[in-house]
Amino acid sequence: MPTVVTNVGMLERDANGRRTTNINKTEGSEGTVTVEYENIQYVFAPGQSKTFSDIGIAAAVVAADARLRLADTREGNRTNGRT
């Protein structure tokens, strides 16, 4: 099952659950996140999502930078109840 990783470094949730931008959280090149894993560079723009077919790679990329998250149902991803 594909796993989605999202750069949420500049994003916050308001009281209604909508994404909002927090300019105070920009880092580097205007919130862009670059992660290198096994000599492959993954670049995430602010709010950008990427799909990984291997959950191990996705987990390693997320662990490399605190601004990256595994996408959840608020991003429109649904699970079938299995992990």
pTM over 0.95: no
Q: What are phi and psi of 32, to 5 degrees?
A: -75, 140
**pLDDT tens series, the chain, 83 aa:** 688 898 877 666 677 777 666 655 555 556 788 999 999 999 998 878 899 988 899 999 999 998 898 876 555 555 444 44
> Which helix (H) or strand (E) segment is 13 a member of?
strand 11-13
- Position 34 scores a pLDDT of 92
Q: Would you say 61 and 52 are in contact if contact means Cβ atoms under 8 Å apart?
A: yes
Q: What would the two tokens of residue 28 be?
A: 């580097």
Selection from 15, 19, 5, 8 nearest residue 49 by Cα: 5
